[in-house]
Chains A and B, each alone.
Chain A
Amino acid sequence: NAGVTQTPKFRVLKTGQSMTLLCAQDMNHEYMYWYRQDPGMGLRLIHYSVGEGTTAKGEVPDGYNVSRLKKQNFLLGLESAAPSQTSVYFCASSYSGLAAEQYFGPGTRLTVT
């Protein structure tokens, strides 16, 4: 089992460019999450999904969109990147909303210049 994987690992964008981050899990988990982590700010939830075809906003959703067309994949899109979106992005999954544990991917380091 690969667990949770993220693509790409690193990316540099210019302001205004768009990109999609891909998260994949092979554990048949229902819940998937996208977080961003900035120095001194902890993990902040961007969007999450409670099952295939569903998405919901988290704490900091502005400037991001997501899709969950297949249960194993959760995509995070930036339509027009801004320097404020420079961050490390983590995807996570859990078996359910009441599961004892989230499993995290290795992270994507994004720099917007």
Chain B
Amino acid sequence: GQNIDQPTEMTATEGAIVQINCTYQTSGFNGLFWYQQHAGEAPTFLSYNVLDGLEEKGRFSSFLSRSKGYSYLLLKELQMKDSASYLCAVRVPAGGSYIPTFGRGTSLIVHP
């Protein structure tokens, strides 16, 4: 089976930096995704890593270590609007194709 672990909830202060970790044990790997989901809305794409290293996109960065089965999403200069759920997903082989499998998500609460 596939196992993707994330902390259930995190809190942080506006203006600070927060790191959300994701560890995975899957039968195969072909990329790791991070999505943001505000309450009552659909998930929206944040980042994609397929090779080891850091991908930076504005205030958000994502890191991957395939040998350790580990990724993190780094959010800098936190804003109140960053309060949301952050979903880690790993793309795994399935029936000749590749399908994303999601973790349970991390609820981030940003307070003033």
Contact = CB atoms under 8 A, between A and B. Distances in A.
Given A90-B43, A104-B43, A41 B104 contact: yes
Given A42-B87, A42-B103, A43-B87, A97 B43 contact: no
Interface stretch (B61-69, B71-79, B94-102): B94-102
A43 B104 CA distance: 7
**Which of B87, B94, B100, B101 is most buried by chain A, counting CB atoms within 10 A of its CB?**
B100
Interface stretch (A12-20, A44-52, A64-72, A76-84): A44-52
Interface residues of B, number: 24
Nearest to B1: A59
Sorting the interface of chain A by its residue count into under 10, 10 to 19, 20 to 34 or 35 or more gives 20 to 34
Contacts of B100: 45, 102
Nearest to A100: B48
